[in-house]
């Protein structure tokens, strides 16, 4: 390999490292994840039903995550073809769960998942 090519590659590599922190800055929170993942199938008018945090009360959300989520989404696929149960990792689901329970219909701050 030519020395200039090596230098160019090294510079490109350094540049990509330099940009990485920016790309990962701002860890998505529960609301971001709910909007991106859940809402893609549960927006208003969806054939799968419209669900926002305030659609259910806290007990119903807890029961949903404990007893229904896995079974109801066993075969569901994201628009990019990944299985819902794989695309949404346990860490992501924990954030989504907290967001939906914290903003359920009977919570102190009922919420839809935003615009
Ligand atoms: C790829 C599409 C898809 C995604 C993404 C998705 N769902 Fe679903 N969801 C479904 C389907 C399909 C059903 C089953 C509907 C039925 O039973 O007719 C369902 C059912 C539900 C139900 C109703 C369960 C019941 O009691 O019958 C709730 C609540 C729900 N989803 C919440 C969520 C939440 C929260 C997320 C995000 C973590 C999510 N869904 C992500 C497709 C999806």
Q: What is the mean pLDDT of the chain?
A: 85
The predicted pLDDT at position 113 comes to 83
What is the Å distance from ligand 1's center to 6 Cα? Answer: 50
Query: Is 41 domain-assigned?
Result: yes
Residue 8 within any structural domain of the chain? no
DSSP structure class, residue 65? I
Phi and psi at 83, nearest 5°, equal -70, 140
- The answer to whether residue 112 sits within a structural domain is no
Q: Is the CB of 105 under 6 A from ligand 1?
A: no
pLDDT attached to residue 52 = 97
Domain that holds residue 44: 28-102
Beta bridge partners of 83: 77
Asked if 102 and 58 count as a contact pair (C-beta separation under 8 A), the reply is no
Structure-block tokens of residue 111: 């919420």
The verdict on residue 14 lying in a domain is no
C-alpha atoms less than 13 angstroms from C-alpha of 9 in its C-beta half-sphere: 6
Nearest CA to ligand 1 atom 3: 41
Q: What confidence tens digit (pLDDT) does each residue in 8-48 have?
A: 555 554 444 433 333 335 799 999 999 999 999 999 999 99
CATH of the domain at 86: 1.10.760
Cα dihedral sign for 23, 29, 35, 39? positive
Residue 23 included in any domain: no
Task: Indicate whether 3 belongs to any domain.
Answer: no
Judge whether 61 lies within some domain: yes
Burial 19-34 (b: 16+ CB within 10 A, else e): eeeeeeeeeeebbbbb
Number of domains comprising the chain: 1
φ, ψ of residue 77 to 5 degrees: the values are: -125, 140
Q: What percent of the chain has pLDDT over 70?
A: 77
pLDDT score, position 114: 74
73 CB within 6 A, ligand 1: yes
Chain centroid to Cα 68, Å, comes to 18
In a domain, 9, yes or no: no
């Amino acid at each position: 390999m030519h020395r200039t090519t090596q230098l160019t590659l090294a510079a490109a590599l350094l540049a990509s490292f330099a940009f990485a922190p920016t790309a990962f800055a701002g860890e998505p929170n529960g609301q971001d994840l709910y909007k991106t993942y859940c809402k893609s199938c549960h927006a208003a008018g969806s054939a799968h039903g419209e669900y926002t945090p305030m659609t259910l009360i806290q007990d119903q959300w807890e029961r949903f995550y404990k007893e229904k989520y896995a079974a109801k989404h066993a075969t569901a696929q994201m628009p990019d073809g990944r299985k819902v149960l794989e695309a949404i990792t346990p860490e992501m689901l924990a954030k989504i769960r907290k967001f939906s329970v914290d903003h359920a219909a009977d919570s102190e701050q009922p919420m839809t998942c935003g615009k």
